[in-house]
Amino acid sequence: MTASALPDWRDSLPWPGPETHKHARGRLGVVSGKATQTGAAKLAARGGLRIGAGLVRILCPPDAVAVIAPAIEAIMLTPFGSPEALAYEARTMDSVVIGPAAGVGDVTAMNLRALAETGAALIIDADGLTSFEHFPGELFEALDRDDVLTPHEGEFKRLFPGLLDAGREAAAVEAAKRARAVVVLKGSATVIAAPDGRVAVNGNGTPWLATAGTGDVLAGMIGGLVAQRMDSFDAARAAVWMHAEAARGFGPGLIAEDLPERLPTVLAALYERAG
């Protein structure tokens, strides 16, 4: 990595200092789906943990506890039985990822609305987006400027029909204004747009990311940086770049589980040039 290749958000990365403790490094929650749909949450949680969140907790339906518990170590686990219980358990979180394999429908929509009342920044992906396909305005009403939407093109079209006709960059900018939140329009050249008009196009995309679960890791990475109080637009830009850099460093044969384990190498290279 050359000095000229270093992105401009690197000076905003939240490196720990000598007095830093785990709670000061941010608390990330990740909402899991039911017992047969827990993999995505585990991937997102691992991504958030590896990118530096000091405490990561998976929040899951009661039937998923027995599936998730044997598969995690540093990540914590808390069951919830209703949207109100989810909001209560998430009340101390700095950011929460909701959507990866959460299930499409009213339950996920109600969970998201409950989380929106907690004050945590929301990173909304996959099923969390599609659950509002028929009433996107209700989703936008629940959001604020620190929240992040992470759609691929199909999900984007469901929430913002017709916008892509103007091109990906213009579409992402308009979507961020409508949603009043950061929008990450995923693709080979991912576009990141903020509601205040800031926009960036990621330039280090790689086809090795075209495999199941990589988007879940990205959502967790964004959540992990936002939990550390990095500006949501910069956090999204940084996570997208590091996500691609980790994949590029691994190369052929990459699967989603490999990405979090590549992050220390990517972070170390950035840290060496910090300051």
pLDDT at residue 273, rounded to an integer: 72
CATH superfamily of 22-272: Ribokinase (3.40.1190.20)
Beta bridge partners of 31: 59
pLDDT at residue 200, rounded to an integer: 98
Q: What is the DSSP string of the chain?
A: --GGGS-GGGGG-----TT--GGGG-EEEEE---TT--HHHHHHHHHHHHTT-SEEEEEE-GGGHHHHGGG-SSSEEEE-SSHHHHHHHTTT-SEEEE-TTS-SSHHHHHHHHHHHTS-PEEEE-THHHHTTTT-HHHHHHH--TT-EE---HHHHHHHSTTGGGG-HHHHHHHHHHHHTSEEEE-STT-EEE-TTS-EEE-----GGG-STTHHHHHHHHHHHHHHTT--HHHHHHHHHHHHHHHHHHH-TT--TTHHHHHHHHHHHHHHHT--
pLDDT at residue 3, rounded to an integer: 37
| Domain parsing of the chain, residue ranges | 22-272
pLDDT tens, residue order, the chain (275 aa): 433 356 889 999 999 999 999 999 999 999 999 999 999 999 999 999 999 999 999 999 999 999 999 999 999 999 999 999 999 999 999 999 999 999 999 999 999 999 999 999 999 999 999 999 999 999 999 999 999 999 999 999 999 999 999 999 999 999 999 999 999 999 999 999 999 999 999 999 999 999 999 999 999 999 999 999 999 999 999 999 999 999 999 999 999 999 999 999 999 999 987 65
Cα 16 to Cα 84: distance, rounded to the nearest angstrom = 33
Which one, of 128, 98, 115, lies nearest residue 32 by Cα? 98
CA angle 170, 171, 172 (to 5 degrees): 95
pLDDT at residue 7, rounded to an integer: 83
pLDDT at residue 275, rounded to an integer: 55
pLDDT at residue 25, rounded to an integer: 94
CA angle 107, 121, 156 (to 5 degrees): 65
Angle between helices 39-50 and 214-227 (to 10 degrees): 40
pLDDT at residue 96, rounded to an integer: 98
pLDDT at residue 187, rounded to an integer: 97
Which one, of 20, 22, 38, lies nearest residue 30 by Cα? 38
